[in-house]
Amino acid sequence: EPEVTQTPSHQVTQMGQEVILRCVPISNHLYFYWYRQILGQKVEFLVSFYNNEISEKSEIFDDQFSVERPDGSNFTLKIRSTKLEDSAMYFCASKGDDGSYEQYFGPGTRLTVT
């Protein structure tokens, strides 16, 4: 069964460093999303992406964040200058254009900022 994959599974970085989290969505999907979950808190929406542009973003998704679909398969989330409070589990999701409304989630990348 097709699945969303994410790399790396765990990323440790120092405050102020740039990180890129990678996702490979399901191949025929057209809608892409990033969510995050800070330990002990709710899963929060960050951004949605469709037709090579951001379709919606939350207030969390400020100028330090960016997303890109550099080729036909990858979908990346970049944090330019990480802060301690960016430590969280980051989930990528994708959705097809078949009217099912189901977003398929990857296993997540645990980002630890020290």
Partner 1 sequence: AQSVTQLDSQVPVFEEAPVELRCNYSSSVSVYLFWYVQYPNQGLQLLLKYLSGSTLVKGINGFEAEFNKSQTSFHLRKPSVHISDTAEYFCAVRRIQGAQKLVFGQGTRLTINP
Q: Give residues 9-28 in contact with partner 1 (rule: CB under 8 A).
A: none
Shortest gap between Cβ of 81 and partner 1 (angstroms)?
Answer: 25
Mask 82-101, x = binds partner 1 (CB under 8 A)?
Answer: ---------x-x-x-----x
| 59 lies in the site for partner 1, by CB under 8 A | no
Of 47 and 113, CB closest to partner 1: 47
Residue nearer to partner 1 on the CB measure, 3 or 98: 3
Determine the Cα angle at 66 with ends 62 and 101, to 5°: 95
Q: Identify the three-state secondary structure at position 40.
A: coil
